């Protein structure tokens, strides 16, 4: 432990289980001395999140469905009852109807477009607005995005469009909150097998393709994401805001299939 996060406390949003990207980040923050609260979506997830939180010394769990603004208000009211200030937020939340994460983007329904945008992009704005009021001495807000925002990844569809809105929101929020020394950044993680990822059509193919074609010739882990999360949420990145940082084994710099990659 380095003490990098000693004296810092914050909220982890989007922990579902021990495969979650949020878990990789939470574990790393805990290792370096952070005090953590966790929000969960619905009672079914509470049962999974509670023991994980306890294993990191936290009994601070709050319910929060980010699609419901009253629930987001209630969540921050509960945080404020126990902590008058916070130093960081991890926003690791995304959702779309899995029937629209296959086939073609052109078939996206208006209803699912709006829901996906709301939960996967607008929620960062809603959370940031409430969190900034609890960051009088500055802070760091981190969200999770994916390469499908920049380039077409088959089946990622409406989620790619929502992630593009999320990445642009990071820039606008960074500019709004910069004068208060609140930094807003995103990690663009390579594909990792999680509950959310299992909803994406042909995800196994995406994983294999990235493994064979990224410069490091491997997929990333939640530990890789956790390490970069620690950088963004600690003072190590004190001069960095508005950034989308790739933790993808370098995949985003590659323009074509690697010569040594077999056909899959």
Question: Which value, to the nearest 10 degrees, does the dihedral of the CA atoms of residues 22, 34, 232, 143 take?
Answer: 30
Q: Measured on CA atoms in the order 117, 196, 89, 77, is the torsion positive or negative?
A: positive
Shortest distance, CB of residue 169 to ligand NAD, whole angstroms?
13
Rule CB under 6 A: is residue 195 a binding residue for ligand NAD?
A: yes
Of the listed 40, 122, 147, 156, which one is catalytic?
A: 156
Among 26, 52, 66, 184, binds ligand NAD (CB under 6 A): 66
Rule CB under 6 A: is residue 196 a binding residue for ligand NAD?
A: yes
> Judging by DSSP bridges, how do beta strands 35-40 and 9-13 pair with one another?
parallel
63-71, 78-86, 167-175, 232-240 -> range binding ligand NAD (CB under 6 A): 63-71
Query: Which one, 56 or 67, has the nearer CB to ligand NAD?
Result: 67
- Asked if residue 188 lies in contact with residue 136, where contact means CB atoms within 8 angstroms, the answer is no
- Asked if residue 230 lies in contact with residue 169, where contact means CB atoms within 8 angstroms, the answer is no
For tokens 């990844």, the residue is 153
**How many angstroms separate the CA atoms of 143 and 180, rounded?**
19
Among 61, 189, 230, 233, binds ligand NAD (CB under 6 A): 189
- Binding-site residue total for ligand NAD (CB under 6 A)? 27
Among 53, 197, 230, 249, binds ligand NAD (CB under 6 A): 197
Residue 40 annotated in active site: no
How deeply is 262 buried, as exposed, middle or buried, from its count of CB atoms within 10 A (0-12, 13-18, 19+)?
exposed
Residue 146 annotated in active site: yes
**How many angstroms separate the CA atoms of 20 and 194, rounded?**
6
Query: Which one, 69 or 138, has the nearer CB to ligand NAD?
Result: 69
Side-chain half-sphere exposure of 111, counting CA atoms within 13 A? 3
- The footprint of ligand NAD on residues 125-144 (CB under 6 A) is 144
Among 46, 67, 74, 240, binds ligand NAD (CB under 6 A): 67
1-9, 25-33, 65-73, 128-136 -> range binding ligand NAD (CB under 6 A): 65-73
Rule CB under 6 A: is residue 114 a binding residue for ligand NAD?
A: no
Q: Which residues bind ligand NAD (CB under 6 A)?
A: 14-16, 20-22, 41, 45, 64-67, 92-95, 119, 144-146, 189, 191-192, 194-197
């Amino acid at each position: 432990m380095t003490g990098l996060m000693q004296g810092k406390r914050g909220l982890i949003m989007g922990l579902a289980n021990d495969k979650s990207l949020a878990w990789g980040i939470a574990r790393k923050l805990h290792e370096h001395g952070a005090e953590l609260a966790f929000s969960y979506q619905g009672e079914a997830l509470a049962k999974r999140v509670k023991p994980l939180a306890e294993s990191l010394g936290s009994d601070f769990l709050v319910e929060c469905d980010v699609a419901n603004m009253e629930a987001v208000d209630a969540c921050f009211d509960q945080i404020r009852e126990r902590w008058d200030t916070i130093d960081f937020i991890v926003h690791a939340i995304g959702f779309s109807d899995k029937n629209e994460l296959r086939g073609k983007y052109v078939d996206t329904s208006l209803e699912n477009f709006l829901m996906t945008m709301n939960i996967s992009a607008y929620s960062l704005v809603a959370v940031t607005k409430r969190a900034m009021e609890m960051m009088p001495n500055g802070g760091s807000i981190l969200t999770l995005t994916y390469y499908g925002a920049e380039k077409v990844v088959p089946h990622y569809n409406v989620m790619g469009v929502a992630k593009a809105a999320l990445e642009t929101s990071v820039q606008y929020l960074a500019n709004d909150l910069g004068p208060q020394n609140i930094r807003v950044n995103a990690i663009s993680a390579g594909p990792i097998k999680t509950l959310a990822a299992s909803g994406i059509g042909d995800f196994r193919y995406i994983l294999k393709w990235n493994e064979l074609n990224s410069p490091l010739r491997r997929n990333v882990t939640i530990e890789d994401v956790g390490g970069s999360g620690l950088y963004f949420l600690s003072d190590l990145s004190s001069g960095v805001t508005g950034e989308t940082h790739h933790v993808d084994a370098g995949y985003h710099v590659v323009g074509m299939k690697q010569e040594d990659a077999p056909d899959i």
